[in-house]
Amino acid sequence: MDTSLFEIYKQSHEYTLWPLKEDKFLSILYGTDSSDINNQTKVFTHIESNNPVGFVSAKIKDSKGVIVFLFVSPESRLKGVGTSLLKQSLEWFKQNDVHEIALGAKAGSYIFPGLPKNLGIEGFFKKNGFEISDDGLVDMYQDITNWDVPQSVFDSVESENVKINFSNEKVAKDIVEFTKNNFPNWYDNYKFDMERKKYEKVFYASIGDEIVGISKLWVGDCVWDLLFENNVGGGGALGVSEKHRGKGIGLAMKAWGTIKIKEKGIKYVWIGWTYAVDFYKKLGFKVWREYYKGKLMLK
């Protein structure tokens, strides 16, 4: 692990927009973060006079390639370094028989879910053959200091006899089973938490004995801790079974989770990687940052 890569990033204008803690930055870059499961990571660096002036972190998972982070020191830009690093990573994808490439995420830990709009580098990727589009991908947030849940959010689910609770030993197996049947992408993740009895991290909605929704809670260790006064939490992997959608259960679960985070004295709730802007707006969340989708099919 070359810690000087963090130093060159730290001195850039981009760092002021997107500051990360060193350990988080390096663990994502090198693929040693807890969400780097069953993936491959490769970091290429560009060295001048014995010092790195640029780097790229590339990852592969399930035959998909991702450019997680490409960076060139400001004084070395517009000299072909970025192009050369990108080419090296594309070559590595080809050697591994990977032809579908995305920018940002979907192969383990990541910094951005797509290509941040505020970096102004979509032109560079377009020049290199990437298709850049806007599919509405955003992060959202809210300062919950004075937030209160609208009571109407719970009225509709109460009339349906929906109960929301933290998970426990008794329902752990059912939650894993529910995930397997309804949200197979999250199966590993929920199974991991239930096996380790992380009941305070997982909550669920039920009607009688039937589980109808699941979600997770987290506090701290967010990629953007520094932008939220080290005082941030959130929910995640929120899913309601198909036949129970449209009844307000998802919204009630998000509200329930937000109340629990507020009770812990947390100031901000952050929602990473979502398209459901109108849904979260109902609880007062606002768009925080926006991303393009970047895609390349390698021949």
Binding site for ligand COA (CB under 6 A): 14, 69-72, 77-83, 119-121, 123-124, 127
Quote the least distance from Cβ 61 to ligand COA, whole Å: 18
Extract the tokens encoding 96: 């591994």
Residue number, 123 or 265, with CB nearest to ligand COA = 123
Residue nearest to ligand COA (CB): 82
Extract the tokens encoding 101: 């490439």
Residue number, 3 or 83, with CB nearest to ligand COA = 83
* CA nearest neighbour of 168 among 205, 200, 191: 200
Cβ–Cβ under 8 Å, residues 56 and 30: no
Cβ–Cβ under 8 Å, residues 252 and 157: yes
Residue number, 85 or 261, with CB nearest to ligand COA = 85
Extract the tokens encoding 124: 């560079």
Residue number, 127 or 173, with CB nearest to ligand COA = 127
Residue number, 239 or 272, with CB nearest to ligand COA = 272
Quote the least distance from Cβ 14 to ligand COA, whole Å: 4
Quote the least distance from Cβ 54 to ligand COA, whole Å: 6
Quote the least distance from Cβ 252 to ligand COA, whole Å: 37
β 210-219/268-274 pair status: unpaired
Quote the least distance from Cβ 29 to ligand COA, whole Å: 11
Residue number, 8 or 214, with CB nearest to ligand COA = 8
Residue number, 244 or 289, with CB nearest to ligand COA = 289
Quote the least distance from Cβ 71 to ligand COA, whole Å: 4
Cβ–Cβ under 8 Å, residues 121 and 79: no
Quote the least distance from Cβ 104 to ligand COA, whole Å: 8
